[in-house]
A and B are shown apart, each in its own frame.
Chain A
C-alpha cells in the first residue's frame, strides 16, 4: 500500500501548529521591570486563567489579569504587576513552576489512588 501525495497548501485548512520548542510563544511588552504585559500565541483560558490564579496567590504580585482580545485571534494577554522587588518575568516563571508542581502532585496522587483501590480489592 503506497501513500497518496499530500494535498496542496490551499487544500489544508488546519490552523493548529503542533507543539514544539521552536515557536515563539511569548512576547513581552514592558518598560519597567515590575510590570509587564505578556502576549501569548495560541493560548486561551486554559493557561490564562490558571496563570492568573497562581499569580494572584503569590504575595509579591500586586495585580494579574488576562484577556482574550478577540475569539478569532489566537492571542492571550496576561498583565502582571509586582511589588517587593520581584520582576514581572520572575513572577511568571514562578507561576509556571507552581502550576507544574501542582500538576505533578495531582498526577502522583491520582496514580496512588488507583494503587490504593487495587490493594483494597
Chain B
C-alpha cells in the first residue's frame, strides 16, 4: 500500500456484501448487525478499498448541513467522519467545555425549610449567563481574584403586608450580581452582565417570616468535575436511517406496509413503496416484524452520517459550544504533543 489508490478505485464495489458491512449498520428483528466499524487500514484490501487515513480524501468526503438553528438548539448533519471522532466531539461538548457555576455558598441566614446544603446544591445547578472565556480557572488553594470568581447575592425575605404575602418564592432572578474590583469594566454592555439564564427558576418557596440571605461564589470549571458546569442540556447524535423496500411489494401489500409505520415514513409512488421521510424513522422495527416483510424491507443506518443535536443551557449558544469543542480537542492534542517533546 505504498501508493494511494485513486478516488475511483476507492469506491470498492467488487463485493457488495462487504461494502454494505463497511458503510452500514443493519437493523434486524434479532438485533444489530455489524454495529462496530472496522478501522484497520488494511481491512478492506480484498474489495480494493484503501481504509487508511488520507487528509485529502477526508476533505473531499466531509460535509456539514445545518438542519435547524434556534439560539439554544442546533441540529445539523455531519457526514464522512467516523464514530470515534464524532463521539469525541460529543464527549467534549458534554464534559470538557468550561462554564461558570456557583461553587461556594456562604450562608448568612437561612430560615427556610430547605437545609443549607440542599439550598447550596440547588443554587449550584442554576445556569449562569456569562461568557466563561473571560475568566480563568480558579487554582486550588489560591485566593479568590476578580479574574476567576463572580459573586451573586441572594437576599429574600418573605413578609405579610395588608394580608398579602410578598416574596412567597425565591426565584433565580433574585440573584444579584455583586461586581468586585474592576469587574464592571469587564462587562461594559448591560446585556452582557452576569445573571442567571432564566429569571423564573424557583429556588425555594417561603412563608411569612422566613428568609434566605446567602452569598454565592461562582467558579469556572468543566462538566467532568460536576455536571453543573456542563454547557449542554443534551448533546447527542444519531445515525442517518436508510430504508430500502423491495420493488416486489405492490398493491395491497404496499398499502399494508405504509400503514404499519407509526411515524409515516413511507409513501406510495407508482405503486411502489418508497421511504420518503427517512429522518423521521425511529428504528421501531414495526415494519419488519412480520416474517414476510422482514425479507423485503431493509432497515439500515449509514455508519458515517451523524445527525447531531446540541441543546444549550444558555451560557454559550449551541453553535459556540460546537466550535469550542473542536478548539478544545485541538488543544488537548497540543498538550500531549508538548509533553511528548519534553520527554525526548
Q: Which B residues are in CB contact (< 8 Å) with A58?
A: 41, 52-53
* In contact, B62 and A106 (Cβ under 8 angstroms): yes
Give chain B's interface residue range (CB within 8 Å of chain A). 35 or more
From the candidates A4, A7, A109, name the one contacting B62 in the complex (CB within 8 A).
A109
B237 interfacial by beta-carbon distance below 8 Å:
no
8 Å CB interface, B20-35 against A: none
Query: Nearest Cβ distance between residue B143 and chain A, in whole angstroms?
Result: 5
* In contact, B333 and A99 (Cβ under 8 angstroms): yes
Q: Measured between alpha carbons, how far is A60 from B316 in the docked complex, in Å?
A: 41
Q: Which B residues are in CB contact (< 8 Å) with A18?
A: 136-137, 139
Give chain A's interface residue range (CB within 8 Å of chain B). 35 or more
* In contact, B55 and A98 (Cβ under 8 angstroms): yes
A72 interfacial by beta-carbon distance below 8 Å:
no
Q: Given A46-B88, A59-B41, A106-B81, does the pair A3, B144 have CB atoms closer than 8 Å?
A: yes
Mark the stretch among B217-225, B251-259, B273-281, B286-294 that contacts chain A.
B217-225
* In contact, B85 and A105 (Cβ under 8 angstroms): no
Chain A proximity mask over B308-344: 1 for CB below 8 Å, otherwise 0: 0000000000010011001101111111111110111
Q: Measured between alpha carbons, how far is A5 from B91 in the docked complex, in Å?
A: 35
Q: Given A9-B141, A18-B137, A47-B332, does the pair A114, B39 have CB atoms closer than 8 Å?
A: no
Query: Which A-B residue pairs are the 8 nearest by beta carbons?
Result: A18-B137, A53-B84, A57-B53, A25-B339, A113-B64, A3-B144, A1-B178, A96-B333
User: Which residues from chain B sit less than 8 Å from chain A, CB to CB?
Assistant: 1, 39-42, 51-53, 55, 58-59, 62-66, 69, 76, 78, 81-82, 84-85, 87-89, 91-92, 96, 104, 106, 136-137, 139-146, 149, 151, 178-180, 215, 217, 221-222, 224-225, 319, 322-323, 326-327, 329-340, 342-344
User: Which residues from chain A sit less than 8 Å from chain B, CB to CB?
Assistant: 1-9, 12, 14-16, 18-21, 23-26, 28, 40, 43-47, 49-50, 52-54, 56-59, 61, 89, 92-93, 96-107, 109-114, 117
